[in-house]
Amino acid sequence: MESNVSRRTVLRAAALATAVPAVSAIATQATAAIPTSAAAVPARWAVQPFQLADVTLQQGVFAAKRALMLAYGRGYDVNRLLQVFRANAGLSTLGAVAPGGWEGLDGEANGNLRGHYTGHFLSMLSQAYGSTGEAVFADKIRTMIGALAEVRTALRKDPTGLAASGPFGSGVDNVRGSSQYIELPPAVLATARDLTVSVWVRPSHASAWARVFDFGDDTNRYLYLAARNASGVPRFAITDGGAGREQAIDGSAALPLNTWSHLAVTIAGTTGTLYVNGVVAGRNTSMTLNPAVLGTLRNHWLGRSLYPDPAFAGAFGETNLWSRALGADEIAKLQHESATGDLASYTFAETTGTFADRSGHAGPAKLRRTWGGPSHPGFLAAYPETQFIALESMTGSDYTKVWAPYYTAHKILRGLLDAHANTGDERALDLASGMGDWMYSRLSKLPKTTLQRMWGLFSSGEFGGIVEAICDLHAVTGAPEHLALARLFDLDRLIDSCAAGQDILTGLHANQHIPILTGLVRLHDETGETRYLDAARNFWGMVVPPRMYSIGGTSTGEFWKAPGLIAGTLTDVTAETCCAYNLLKLGRMLFCHEQDSRYMDYYERALYNQVLGSKQDKADAEKPLVTYFIGLTPGHVRDYTPKAGTTCCEGTGMESATKYQDTVYLKGADGNSLYVNLYSPSTLSWREKGITLTQRTAFPYEQRSTLTVRGKAAFTLRLRVPAWCTGGFEVLLNGQPVRQTAVPGTYFPLSRDWRDGDTVEVRTPFRLRVEKAADAQEIQSLFYGPVALVARDPRTTFLRFGLYRNAGLSGDLLPTLKTVAGKPLHFTLDGVELAPFFEGTEDPTHVYFQRAEPAIVFGALDSGVANPVKPGGTTLLDEIWAAAPFADKGALIRQVQAKTTAWRDAGLLGAEDARKVVTTARQASYAK
C-alpha cells in the first residue's frame, strides 16, 4: 500500500517565496514558509474558500482570542498526547503523562475515547501552521506524525520487549495501556504437587485484580497471584470450582508503586505460603488443591487474567518456578541472589519478545497482546481494535464498554489530513490512507443491517464527521474503496427522513447527528446524488432557527427537544459547543452550494457569540480553556475546564480558534466574485487575481469597515448586508455613496474593473433589538447589531427588564440603556451591567431575561396607563412599536392612534386610557 500512496497523491504543498510575518503580538519566533495548497476544493461548489494562509487576521477580538490558543499550542508537550498511542503499541512513553479527562486510561468510561483529543490537537497545530507559518508548529506536527508512524509499525508486528533495569540487571516493562502479557510454555507446571513461583515485579499502577500470574483453563479452574485484591493487598488463590471455591492467601500490605518487590508462593502438602520481599505475608494450612490436582492447564500467563481484569502494568524481573516448596531461608536468599528454577527460569533480558528459559526444561516464553493484533496493517488507534470489534455485535448502547470508536477514528483521520494539507508531509497521507483501507476492510464485510444498527446506537455508534473526512481522503487518493467506505456510514433513517422533509430530530443526540450532514454534503460533491444534499438542506431548516438558542447554539443535555421549544429547555447544560462548531461547518458548506445569506447570518451569529464566548480570555499552559456546555439558566457561570479540558468541545474549540479567518472571504468558482461575509480586520491575498484586499475595522466595536484594493482586476465584490442591519446599510466607493438598494439578508454587489488604491467603506449601523423565545414571548435575548448582550448578575431567577420607555423613532431600544464610560459595548439597565457575550469571563450571566412593560411610557414620559395584554402575551406597546421605524413623530402618533382605537373597540382599553396614551405620545420627545 505504501508504495502506491505517493502516486495517488494529486495535491502537494508548495511554499511561499517569502516568509509571512507573525500575526500576533506573542508570535516572536521565526516563521517558516506557508503552503499555498491545503485541500481539495469540491468541483461542485459554486463558491470556494481561500486557504488559511491567504487571509491574515489583524488586531481585533479574533486575533486576541487566537493568540491565547497559539500560545497554548506552542508550549504544550505533544509527547503527552502521544502517550496513549505509544502505550497501546507497547512502546516507551518517554515518561510522558497523558492529559487526563477523556484523554487517558483513567478517564471517563475507562478511557474509551482516548486518541480523539490528539486528533483535534493535530488539526489545531496544522491550522496554526497554515495560518502563521511558524516553525514551532511544523516541528510539533512532524514529531506527532513520526510517532504515529512508529506506532502503526509497532502494531503491525508482534510485541517486542521494552527493557527495564531489574534487580539483577534486566527486566521487561509492560507499559500501562499496552495490553501486553507474557505467555509461558504449555507444560511449565509439569505434574508438580509441591510448587514455588518466584517473581520480581515493579507495578506502575494500583489496578485491582491485575495478575502477576494466572495459570488455568478458564474462570473455573486456575491458580493466580494478583498484585492487589479489592483491599489493595496481594492475593494468591487456587480453585477447581470458580471464585466461590477459591483456597486463598491474602497479603497484609500493598505493594509500593514504581518499586521492585519480590513475590513468592509456595505449596507444600496442605500448606500454602505467600512471601513479600522475603517475609511471610500470609499462610493457609488447609489447602487441598495443587497443580497436580488441577491437571494439565491450557494457559500460563504472567500479567494477564482469565477474568476480564486489567493487564498488569509494570515490569517483570527474574521469574523462577520450582517443583518443590522452597524454605523460608531459600526465599530470603532470592532477595539478593539470582537463581534458576528447575521447572522454568526467565531473566527477560531479551528485547525481541521471545525470552529464553535458563532451566532448559520449559522452553521460551513469548510476549503477547491480550487482543491479539490488528486485522489490517492500516489500523491506527490509541486502544485495541476490540472496541471496533465489540461494536459490531452490540444491540444497545453502553459507552462504558464501547465509546464511539469511529468518532475517535474520525478525529485522528481528520488530524492526519489537516497535517498533510498544511505541511505536505506524505507520511500523514500514508497513515490516513491506511486508516481508510483498514476501515473499509472491516466495514465492507458487514451486512447492511448490522451497519444500520451500529450507526443508530447512541454514543457507542457515534462516528462524528468521518464521512466528510473520508470524502476528503478520496479527493486526494482517488481510491474507489475510499468512496465506497464513505457510503458505508449512510444512516438511512436519518437521510431518508431529512431528504423527505420529515423532522425526526426530537430526542436525538444533537452532535452525533449534525456532522453526519456535513458528510452528506461531501458525499453529494463526490457522487452527485441529490438525496444527500436535499437531506442536509432540509436538516438545516429543522435546526436553524427552530432548535437554535439566540447565541447560535443548540441542544439541551446534548439532545434535541421539539422544534420551537426554547424557553422550556433552558438548563445548565444547553448549547454544547461542538454543536455550534459543526453547524458553522454545515452552513458554510451549504452556502458554497447555494449563496443564501441566511447561512452567513447564522455563521456571524454563532461565531461572534457562542464560539468567541466559549473561549476564556485567559492564558493557560495546560488547558485550552473552552466550554463544553454553555448554560443558559439565569446567573450561569461558564465552565472553561470541564473534565480536565480534554472533551470533544475543547477539541473543536482549539480548531475554531485557529481558523477564525476561514470564512471572512469566499470566492466564486468562476473567479468573478469575491464574497465579504464578515466584517473583520484582515488582509486577503487573492493570488489568482493578483489582488490584495485589506479590511480595516474595529468591528464590532465600530459600525463600519473600510476595504482597500491593491492591484488591478475585474470582479464583483459582494458585501453581505446582515439581516439585523435594518438601520440603513451604506456603501461608499472611493468616498462617494453608491446609489443602490441594500436589502438586509442579501449581498450588495459592486461590479468594477478594480484599480490599485480603490476603497470601499461599508457602514453597518447597529440597533438594539430583542429576540423572543418561540415558546414564551416574554423570555427574550438582547442584541446590539450582531452582538448578544448579556446581563452580569448573580441572581438565579429571570431579570425583569422594560425597554420601550425611551425607544427611538427608528425602533432602536438603545436610548433606554446607559453607556459605560471606557468600556465599549457595555451598558447598564436598571443598575445591571450588560456586556458582550463574546467576552470570556467567569461572571454570572443572563442570556435570557423576562420582558416586563407594565406601564405605557413614551420618551421616558409615563402615561399612567397600564400596558394591556392580549391572550398569548402581546401587549399594546408591542403592536405600536412593531411598525417601527417611523419616518417622523407624526407617523408614530398616527400608529398610536390607530392601535389605541382598535384596542378600545375590542374592549381591551378604556376610552379615557386611550386618550391618555395618545396625549402622552404627543407630548413625549424621541431619539432618532
For the record, the C-alpha cell of 152 comes out as 502503526
Q: What is the pLDDT of residue 259?
A: 97
Q: What is the pLDDT of residue 705?
A: 98
- Average pLDDT of 164-173? 95
- Average pLDDT of 698-727? 97
CATH topology of domain 664-699+704-763: Immunoglobulin-like (2.60.40)
Q: What is the pLDDT of residue 872?
A: 82
Residue 624 makes CB contacts below 8 A (sequence gap 6+) with 69, 72, 615, 645, 650, 653, 654, 657
Q: Look over the chain and give the mean of its residue pLDDT values, rounded to a whole number.
A: 94
Check whether 33 has a pLDDT greater than 80. no
Cα–Cα distance for residue pair 189/184, rounded to 1 Å? 10
- Average pLDDT of 883-911? 96
How many alpha carbons lie under 13 Å from residue 172 in its C-beta half-sphere?
A: 30
Q: What is the pLDDT of residue 22?
A: 32
Cα–Cα distance for residue pair 759/644, rounded to 1 Å? 48
CA dihedral 728, 729, 733, 734 (to 10 degrees): 70
Give domain 180-369's CATH architecture: Sandwich (2.60)
Alpha helices in 133-261, H assignment, sequence order: 135-156
Check whether 32 has a pLDDT greater than 90. no
DSSP state of 111: G
209: phi > 0 → left, psi -120 to 50 → alpha, else beta; which?
Answer: left
Check whether 10 has a pLDDT greater than 60. no
- Average pLDDT of 807-827? 96
Check whether 2 has a pLDDT greater than 70. no
DSSP state of 611: I
Cα–Cα distance for residue pair 509/459, rounded to 1 Å? 8
Per-residue pLDDT tens over the stretch 496-536: 999 999 999 999 999 999 999 999 999 999 999 999 999 99
Check whether 677 has a pLDDT greater than 50. yes
CA of 692: how far to CAs of 675, 676, 705, 763, in Å?
14, 13, 16, 21
For the record, the C-alpha cell of 475 comes out as 479527493
Per-residue pLDDT tens over the stretch 80-89: 999 999 999 9
Cα–Cα distance for residue pair 148/850, rounded to 1 Å? 53
Check whether 151 has a pLDDT greater than 60. yes
Alpha helices in 802-910, H assignment, sequence order: 876-881, 889-905
DSSP state of 814: G
Q: What is the pTM of this model?
A: 0.93
Per-residue pLDDT tens over the stretch 244-295: 999 999 999 999 999 999 999 999 999 999 999 999 999 999 999 999 999 9
Per-residue pLDDT tens over the stretch 569-586: 999 999 999 999 999 999
User: For the chain, what are the domain ranges?
Assistant: 180-369, 664-699+704-763, 775-923
Q: What is the pLDDT of residue 9?
A: 31
pLDDT band at 336 (very low <50, low <70, confident <90, very high): very high
